[in-house]
Amino acid sequence: MTEIQKIGMFSLAKYFGIYLAILGVVLSIILIVIPTRYSTPEFILFLPGILALIGMLSGFIDAVIYNGLSVGLGGIKLDYSNGVIKKIDPLSVAKIYGLLNGVWGAVGSNVLGFILYFIAGFVAAYVMAWIYNLVSGSIGGIKINIQDNKLVGVEWVSVSKIATIFIVVGAFLVEIAIGILLLFLPQIGAISNPTLITATLIVLIASGIAVLFFALVFGFIFTAFEASFYNILSRNIDGIEVYFSNS
């Protein structure tokens, strides 16, 4: 397995800073075209800069935390060869993402907040890695281009396929959870009208189909745009620095 030993702090900060700055410009234009109570000259003017600063700080802090955790716990482990991420070690990505999530969740919170965010991040990352390994064998893994310890390109079709599956599975699980909740509510006396329950389930099924369709279509399009945007940006400012070691 190949281990991601270190992530370049300044390269990650630079990418997120520019990404959120461009997002801020787009949002400012939207606020000009579609006025709201936030469409003040000051807010529109400073929004790109504020988001750029947030992006730089969050990217830098994420890289610092990751690099520190990888020293003590080991980094994320991948089965990576010939430019393709074939497998992801679920435990390695779950413990890193869980701790990262816990740290951010503890900001302005307490120990309980850290624990809850850690558990949520750990479980989500583990499940996503497991799904990735399950489907990558049949549809192929994500293709990336690493040159001189820099992520200079991401093959947009491969990453869009995987990300769309994540989005669809997530939406499907949410619909199942809501359906189970609706079936459970009559047992505790929260809902007693069977007609209301049946109608709600029908609406849930119909909306679930619509949500899955939009998740499938727009999830693929959005992820393709993100990957293409990264590729364009990396050609002009260099890619995110990623340092590997064999384990």
pLDDT at 199: 66
State whether 101 and 67 are in the same domain. no
pLDDT at 226: 87
Digit-coded pLDDT (tens) for 62-97: 999 999 999 988 999 999 988 899 999 999 999 999
Q: Is 168 exposed, middle or buried (0-12, 13-18, 19+ CB in 10 A)?
A: middle
pLDDT at 193: 58
Residue 128 Cα distances to 82, 103, 124, 189, 202, angstroms: 23, 20, 6, 36, 29
Number of domains in the chain: 3
State whether 133 and 191 are in the same domain. no
State whether 146 and 235 are in the same domain. yes
State whether 182 and 192 are in the same domain. yes
pLDDT at 111: 79
Which pair of tokens denotes residue 124? 């989500």
State whether 95 and 196 are in the same domain. no
State whether 169 and 233 are in the same domain. yes
State whether 245 and 176 are in the same domain. yes
Q: What is the largest CA-CA distance in the chain?
A: 65
State whether 11 and 65 are in the same domain. yes
pLDDT at 219: 77
pLDDT at 76: 93
State whether 54 and 25 are in the same domain. yes
pLDDT at 34: 87
Residue of 138, 125, 206, 137 lying closest to 166 (CA atoms) = 125
pLDDT at 237: 82
d(CA 118, CA 104): 9
Record the pTM.
Answer: 0.80
| Enclosing domain of residue 44 | 1-75
pLDDT at 10: 94
Domain end marker among 90, 107, 139? 139
Q: Which ranges of the chain have pLDDT less than 50?
A: none
State whether 21 and 87 are in the same domain. no
State whether 172 and 217 are in the same domain. yes
pLDDT at 52: 95
State whether 108 and 150 are in the same domain. no
pLDDT at 54: 95
